[in-house]
Structures are given as structure tokens and as C-alpha cells.
Amino acid sequence: MGLTVDLKYLFEGGNSLEVGFALPSDYSGITVLFGPSGSGKSTLLHFLAGIKKPDSGIIRCGRQTWFDSSQKENWPPQNRSLGLLFQEYPLFPHLTISANIGYGLNRLPLPEKRDRIRFWIDHLHLQRKEDRYPNALSGGERQRVALAQTMAPQPDLVLLDEPFSALDRPMRSDMRGVVKRTICDTGKAGILVTHDLADALALGDHIIILSEGKILQEGSPLEIFSRPALSSVAKIVGVENLHPARTIETIDGMTALAVGKGKLFAVGLVDQFAVVAPKQECFISFRAEEVILERGKPRQSSARNHLSGTVQEIVSTGAQIRVIIDCGFSLAASITKQAAEDLSLRPGAEITAVIKASAIQILPSE
């Protein structure tokens, strides 16, 4: 299933959506449309589903052209062979669970329809619930029925519109696993809309970053989250250390940068944004997990950045501890609880932050 999307749409308030991306014909797995609220993710999904109509552009899925403004072509949702799992799990309240799962199977012969319903009831552990109505189910059961309803007609493409946003944490994690297994086991392609970082990381095989109606970057989760191409992408994907900087000099592929009152070295990276002219305004970004904290005498190491500073704040974030250090600029480090205890960290303590030059990403000023 290949997908080509190139669309333009002007919202009533004056904002616009202008997106273009393509998924190869042998693509299977989940593509995540990731971005803050109001970036146009759900609208884009509704365009793909045919529920909303873009102003202009083209949507091609496989050999079918679902939408082409130049040819005045616009296929209705009924003909697009896709599934859409809505955020609200809209099950038909007047139909039993079996009838809900079989709602999209009306073209199948009755025995095949029964088998398909039975398969999804067993697959998603909904046995003994088939004759109940949606109101009699728990939240988790309703979600599984909605997933079964979406998947039962075996759509070529499955669209997921923030399907976990209304769930509590354990249920969210459980449902993520069910969705991932269901889509990947059947070899289908899925497009997930989310603004939740954990959803994107847990499910995404390919991530598209969308902000203010435009695609900022796309790539694998590792690429996007460890090497954001723009400071706005770094901000969206929650990179903890994102600071304005100014280049001082570049020697042997290594760039010295002034960051606040501090100084950092970064490796000039082999991408279009790495070649930085002297005294140029830019941004640096690195993840809090890349920072090593040391106390006592500085030791010899291969890391190029040893920044002395004072602990300002210590925040527990579940299994990890977030330490904010003033070292000429505000630096965030993420360490384990045990490490924090071993270092006897407390606000005001002197500390050295160690960062490898290769962990620091130089980003252009936007």
C-alpha cells in the first residue's frame, strides 16, 4: 500500500494546512503524525478518511486516486477501503457487540461474516460479551470492540485519531500493545495522530512532525528524537536542553559555542545544518539522558565538555531524577535515583556535568 499526500487547506480563522508526504508501496507499520494541539493532525486524518474535503491537492493510495482537485475527484469515505479508530470510540448504542463488530461486513456472505466476528471476539478477548450492548461494557472493553469494528473489514489503511487520549496510564499501555500487535500482525499500514510522546515512541515506525499546518521533519523515531533538525522540532519532541548559542570557531570538525555564560564543544555533524559559519546565531540541543554528573576532582575522560555548576533543583519524574544545574546556562540532566543518592545531590551542591561533543546537536536559528 503506497500513499501519496499533497494537500492545501485554509481554515476559517486564517490558518492554513500545507502538507506533503509519501509512504512507499511496500510500507507496513505505523506512521505517527506528531505535533502540538492545533497543528492540523486530526484535520489531515479527516481528509484522508474523506470526512472533510481539502481545498486543493491530491491523495493517492496504491493505484487509486482518492482525491484530486485538478480532476475534481473526491471519493466518499465508503469507497476508500480504510478504517478509522476515533478518539471517542463511537460504538452504535442500539446494536449488540457482535452487530457492532459486524457493521462494516454487510457485503460478506453470512457464514463468513459470522466467522470474522468470532475471530475478532476471540482475538480481542471479548468472549461472553457478544450479546451485550456498548453501555454494559467497561471503558477498556469498549475500546477493544471499537478496534475490532475498525479492523474487521480488513482495511488497507488504518487511521487512528488520538485513540489513547482519554485513557488512564495502565489502560493506555495495554491498548497501545493491542493496537500495535493488531496492525503489525495483519501486515497493514496505520497512521496514528497523537501529541503524546510516549504514544509516538511506543508505536511509531516512522514519525512526521507537524506544526502550524506544516511538516517540519520526518524520519525514524531515533532520528527525530535524538537528532531533531530544527529547534522547533526539538521543542515539540521535548528535548530538555535546547538553548540559543553562538558559534566561536570551528576547528577539525569540532565547533566551539558560547551558550549563556558557558562554553560547549559540539562535533560538526554530517548534515545540512552542521556546517556553521563563525559567530553565527544558532541553537544547541541534547537530551538530559546524555549528561553524566560527577562530584569531586575532575577525572580524565574522552568527553570534551566538563561544565562546573551548582545544583538548582531536583525533581523526581518516576523512575528517574531530573537535576537542573546552573553552569552558565540552565542544564537539565536525567539520572537514576540510586545515582542521585550516591552523589548526595541537594540544591546548592557543586557538580560537574559531562557531555560528549557528539551528543550535542547544532540547529539553525529559525
Partner 1 sequence: MNWDAFWLSMKLASITSIILLCIGLPLAYWIARSSWRWKFLIEAVVALPIVLPPTVLGFYLLTAMGSRSFLGRFYQEMTGSPLAFTFGGLVVASIFYSLPFTIQPLSMAFSAVDECLIQNAWVLGRSRWMTFLTVILPLSYRGVITAFILSFAHTVGEFGVVLMVGGNIPGITRTISIDLYDQVQALNDQGASETALFLLVFSFLFLSLVYFIDRKKDRKRVTVQFD
Q: Are 232 and 364 in contact (CB under 8 A)?
A: no
Q: Are 163 and 87 in contact (CB under 8 A)?
A: yes
What binding mask, one character per residue, do residues 245-284 give for partner 1 by CB under 8 A, x or -? ----------------------------------------
Q: How far is the CB of 42 from partner 1 (least distance, A)?
A: 12
Q: How far is the CB of 86 from partner 1 (least distance, A)?
A: 5
Of the candidate residues 106, 127, 272, 338, the single one contacting partner 1 (CB under 8 A): 106
Cα dihedral sign, 277-278-282-283: positive
Q: Which residues lie across from 267 on neighbouring strands? A: 254
Residue 104 lies near partner 1 (rule: CB under 8 A) = yes
Residue 12 lies near partner 1 (rule: CB under 8 A) = no
The region of 23-31, 102-110, 245-253, 355-363 touching partner 1 under the rule CB under 8 A is: 102-110
Residue 37 lies near partner 1 (rule: CB under 8 A) = no
What binding mask, one character per residue, do residues 54-93 give for partner 1 by CB under 8 A, x or -? ----------------------xxx-x-xxx-x-x-x-xx
Q: How far is the CB of 71 from partner 1 (least distance, A)?
A: 22
Helices marked H in 55-168: 97-101, 110-123, 139-151
Within residues 127-166, the interface with partner 1 by CB under 8 A covers: 135, 149, 153
Helices marked H in the chain: 41-49, 97-101, 110-123, 139-151, 169-185, 197-203, 221-226, 231-236, 337-342
Q: Are 273 and 283 in contact (CB under 8 A)?
A: no
Residue 24 lies near partner 1 (rule: CB under 8 A) = no
First to last CA, the chain: 36
Residue 49 lies near partner 1 (rule: CB under 8 A) = yes
Q: Are 364 and 273 in contact (CB under 8 A)?
A: yes
Residue 11 lies near partner 1 (rule: CB under 8 A) = no
Q: Are 96 and 131 in contact (CB under 8 A)?
A: yes
Q: Are 207 and 199 in contact (CB under 8 A)?
A: no
Supply the DSSP symbol for 299: P
The region of 49-57, 220-228, 278-286, 338-346 touching partner 1 under the rule CB under 8 A is: 49-57
Residue 94 lies near partner 1 (rule: CB under 8 A) = yes
Of the pair 35, 83, the CB lying nearest partner 1 is at 83
Give the DSSP H or E segment for 134: none
Which residues contribute to the site for partner 1 (CB under 8 A)? 49-51, 76-78, 80, 82-84, 86, 88, 90, 92-94, 103-104, 106-107, 135, 149, 153
